[in-house]
Structures are given as structure tokens and as C-alpha cells.
Amino acid sequence: MATKTLGSLYVIWPVETNLSLICDGRITDQIVEDFGVNVKIREVRKSSFNQYGDATKSFKDSIIHAYINRFTNEDDGVKEGTYKNGEILFVFKISDEAKIKTGNYIFYSYIWYKIKEINWQIMAGRKYLIEARVEIAIEPTLVPQ
């Protein structure tokens, strides 16, 4: 790792630290790439009503990579009450932020999930990954295409 001296012979500061790698998203993006799986994201594009007053939606599907964490009783988050046993958390790269919105859907392992909450992980004032808390979607319009 390269270093540079800041105004004194005794002060040396790293040019690139692990913190900057994390904040740039490079380390977390690599974790999602290496340990994640492909999931289908269904973006809800437009909600309106047809001529009969029935609600309609339009969708846009895409495939992206996500790291999946299924919580168990041994996880600290379950012990603390933040998560429930069996709850699934999808983790995405920050570059997928436009597709990961509350109300959109995720298709994984033959099940549709609805995104109910988004949490950004922030370090040094920069977002570096996105966590999506989900619930099983039961809407009949979500038949896989």
C-alpha cells in the first residue's frame, strides 16, 4: 500500500485504506458477486385504474445478484428481537439502488417476496450496500413470466 507523508517526517497516512474500499462499495460488491445468487426483480412501474375501476399495475422484470441471509435462532439479530427466526434479508449492491424500492417484488427459489422495508448501510457518510426486508407476496398478479 502506498503512503504519503503529511507535513512531518513522523506522520504517514495511507493513500488507500480498507475503509475507503468499503465506502466505495468494492468489497461489499465483491461479496454479493461471490456469495450471492441471481434473483428476479419486478419493479412496479405504474399503478392506475382501468375503465371499470379495477386497479392495474405495469411491471419491469430484470435479473440481478443478491446475497441472501436467512435468520436462525442462533443469530444475534433474532436474539435481540430485530429479526424473526426464518426471516429472509436480501442484500444488494448500491449500483442496484434504482430497482430496490419498497413495494417492488423479488422472485427467489420459486417464491415471490414483496419488499416491505429498505435499509442502507452507511459508512463514512456513503451508502455501500442495500438491505431489503421482505414478506411473502400473495398477490395473484405475480405469476412468473
Q: pLDDT tens for residues 114-135?
A: 999 999 887 777 777 899 999 9
Name the phi and psi angles at 127, rounded to 5: -70, 135
Q: Which residues contact 16 (CB under 8 A, 6 or more apart)?
A: 1, 2
**Does residue 111 carry a pLDDT above 80?**
yes
* Confidence bin at 12 (pLDDT 50/70/90): very low
- DSSP for 75-118, please give it: SHHHHTTSS-TT-EEEEE-GGGTTT--TT-EEEETTEEEEEEEE
* pTM of the predicted structure, to 2 decimals: 0.73
Can you list the domains of the chain with their CATH numbers? Answer: 18-142 (2.40.10.270)
Alpha-carbon span 45 to 92, nearest angstrom: 20
Of the candidates 133, 88, 90, the one whose C-alpha atom is nearest the C-alpha of residue 115 is 133
Q: What is the pLDDT of residues 16-72, one digit of tens each?
A: 455 555 555 567 777 888 888 999 999 987 777 888 888 777 889 999 999 998 998
**Does residue 1 carry a pLDDT above 50?**
no
**Would you state the pLDDT for residue 108?**
94
Q: Which residues contact 34 (CB under 8 A, 6 or more apart)?
A: none
User: Given the C-alpha cell 450496500, which residue does it identify?
Assistant: 129
CB 103 within 8 A of CB 115: yes
**Does residue 11 carry a pLDDT above 70?**
no
Helix (H) or strand (E) holding 48: strand 37-49
